[in-house]
Structure 1
Amino acid sequence: MTSLLTYDIDDKIALIGINRPGKRNAMTDDMFAELGDLAERASEESSAAVIFGFGDHFCAGLDLADVMHKMSDGDLARPVIGRHVPHVAFDKIARGTIPFVSALTGAVIGAGLEIAASTQLRVADDTAFFALPEAQRGIFVGAGGSVRVQRLVGNARMTDMMLTGRALSADEALHQNLVQYHVSAGNALDEAIRLARQVATNAPVTNWTIIHGLSRVNDMSYDDALFFETLVARNSVSGQSEGRLRAFVEKRAPRLERPSFDATQQS
C-alpha cells in the first residue's frame, strides 16, 4: 500500500482517507486502483464506509502533472484494453455491498467530484466547493462523471458546469442535488461517520438491495421498473425481516419522530 491512502476500521465502520494534502489530495491512476482495492476490502470487513480527505480539501481532481507526463511519454495515445481504472474502482463504491458516505471539505473538483458522486451519501461542510474544470484544461471527465454527476444534477446543470467551469458553493450543491447534507465547517467527517453508523444498523441485504436496485430502476421503462421492483421487494426479505417487523409491532423499535425543519442541513 502507498502512503497516499489510509484505511482503518472503527466499530464496523471503514474509514478510507485520501492522504496527499500537499497536492490537495490530487489522484493518480495508482491511487484510483488502491481506492478500489480499499473499497472492496471495506465491503468484506465493515457494514458501511466513509471516504474523506486529509487536510483542507477532499480532492482537487487528477494529478495534472502526472497526466502531462503520460502525454509526453505517449501513454495516452496508446489503445486502452480493458476497463478504465477509475471506472473499475468507483464501481466497487457505487455498486458494492455496503453503503459509502463521503465527507466533503474544500476542493471537490473534477475526479474528486466523481469520487463523491460514486458514494451513496454525500456530506459537505461550509468550506466545500464543487467544479468540473476539465474543458478549461482541454480534457473531458473520465472517471464516471458523465454518468453519475449528470444523473445527480441533470444534463443542463452539468453542461453549464463543464462549459463555464463555474464553482458551486456547498449551499448551491445542496440545492442542485450534488450533496444531501450541508453542515458547518469542520463537521463533515463527524456527520458522515454518524450517517454511516445509522445506515449500518439496517439489514445488510436491504442496504445491498437499495444500492443495486435504485440505480438500475433509473435505466428502465416505467413498466419494467415496476416489474423489477416487485421481484426485488419479494426477494429482499432476509432472516432479519421478521424480527425487525415484530420489534416494531411490539413497540420495541424506535418510532420515527417529526423532524424539526432546517433547510441548511439536508435536502
Structure 2
Amino acid sequence: MNSELITYELEGPVALIGLNRPDKRNAINEAVIDALRAAVQRAGEEADVGVLFGHGSVFCAGLDLAEAIERLTGQFEQPRKPRRHSWHLVFDMIERGPIPWVAALHGAVIGGGLELAAATHVRVADESAFFGLPEARRGIFVGGGGTVRVQRIIGYTVMADMMLTGRLLNATEGEREHIVRYVVPKGQALAHAKSLAAKIAQNTPDANWRITNVLPRINDLSHDDGLFMEDLNSNTQRSPEAVQRLREFVEGRAAPLMARDK
C-alpha cells in the first residue's frame, strides 16, 4: 500500500510505515490520521512488529497549523455527537494494539510528532533529531495524548519547561530524558530501527503483547494490585511455541542470547 500521505511496506514480519508529506515537514492533518489508521490496522493484522518513520528531512513537525486555524474559526463542520479525538484513537492503536512499534526519528520531532513517537514502544534517534513542544508559543495546548504519554516518559518538570520556555532537546538530551533509547549517527535511525524490529519479531507474539499491553497497565496499578496482575499473567497457560522454547533452553538447544545493542 502506497498513498500520497502514508507509505506501507512489508519486510518479512516487519511492517514499515512512513509519513509522506515531506513538503509539509510531515505535518499531521485529518487526512494523514485517516491514512495512518488504515496502515496501522493493516500492520496489526499481517505483521509481528511495526516501524514508524518519516520521509524527507524530518520525522514530523507536528500539527498542520493551517487545518488548526480552520477548526478554530469554525470552517470544519462539527459532528452532531461528541466522539473520541481521532489522534487519541489512532495513537492508542499503536501503543496498545496487537504488535510492538519501533520509531525511527530524525530531524524535527515536534509537538504532535513527539506525541506520535511517544505512542511507540522503542524509539531510535539519529544525531540530527531534536524534540520540542511549542504549542504554547502558538496559543494552543497539546492534544495528541502528550499530557499522558509524553509526561509519563519525561515527567512534569521537564515537560513544563519545554512547553513554557519553548526549549528544544537535542538527541543526546532526548536520550537522557528517556524520550529515546538509542542514538545513532545521522542517517542510520531507520536501519537501526529495522534491526531492532527484526529482533523483537523473534519473540512469541503472546510475549510481545504482554509487554506492550499488560506491563504498562501494571505500572498504573497499586503495589498489591500490580503483583496480583503479574501473578495472573505469569501463571496463565502458555502457547505450544512458548513451551517448546522453554524445553529447548532446558535441554541446551536454545540459541545464545544476542549481543548487547549500543
TM-score, with length taken from structure 2: 0.95
1:62 equivalent in alignment to 2:40: no
CA distance in 1 between partners of 2:146 and 2:80 (Å)? 21
Aligned pairs for 1:119-158 within 5 A? 119-158=120-159
Shift of 1:251: 2.4
Shift of 1:170: 0.5
Gaps of 5+ in 1: none
Q: 1:74 to 1:27 in 2, by over 3 A?
A: same
Could you say which residue in structure 2 is the equivalent of 1:27? 28
CA distance in 1 between partners of 2:78 and 2:98 (Å)? 35
CA distance in 2 between partners of 1:80 and 1:192 (Å)? 40
CA distance in 2 between partners of 1:131 and 1:198 (Å)? 30
Could you say which residue in structure 1 is the equivalent of 2:188? 187
Contact 2:5 2:35 in 1 (8 A): no
CA distance in 2 between partners of 1:144 and 1:205 (Å)? 26
1:155-208 CA distance string (max 9 Å, x none):
111111111111000000001000111111010000000011100010001101
Partner SS, residue 207 of structure 2: helix
CA distance in 2 between partners of 1:125 and 1:174 (Å)? 11
Q: 1:8 to 1:77 in 2, by over 3 A?
A: closer
Partner SS, residue 152 of structure 1: helix
1:51-98 CA distance string (max 9 Å, x none):
000011000001101111222335498887110000000011000011
Identity, % of aligned pairs? Answer: 49
Give the partner amino acid of 2:198: R
Could you say which residue in structure 2 is the equivalent of 1:226? 227
Shift of 1:234: 1.5
Could you say which residue in structure 2 is the equivalent of 1:52? 53
Partner SS, residue 16 of structure 1: strand
CA distance in 1 between partners of 2:164 and 2:250 (Å)? 54
Could you say which residue in structure 2 is the equivalent of 1:94? 95
Contact 1:71 1:77 in 2 (8 A): no
CA distance in 1 between partners of 2:260 and 2:35 (Å)? 39
CA distance in 1 between partners of 2:34 and 2:53 (Å)? 17
| C-alpha RMSD of matched pairs (Å) | 1.8
Partner SS, residue 60 of structure 1: coil
CA distance in 2 between partners of 1:141 and 1:29 (Å)? 16
Shift of 1:2: 4.3
Q: 1:147 to 1:69 in 2, by over 3 A?
A: same
Contact 2:105 2:124 in 1 (8 A): yes
Shift of 1:214: 1.2
Gaps of 5+ in 2: none
Could you say which residue in structure 1 is the equivalent of 2:202? 201
CA distance in 2 between partners of 1:125 and 1:150 (Å)? 22
1:18-64 CA distance string (max 9 Å, x none):
01111110010121122122111101010101000001100000110
Shift of 1:238: 1.7
Q: 1:31 to 1:186 in 2, by over 3 A?
A: same
Shift of 1:152: 0.5
CA distance in 1 between partners of 2:186 and 2:87 (Å)? 29
Shift of 1:236: 6.2
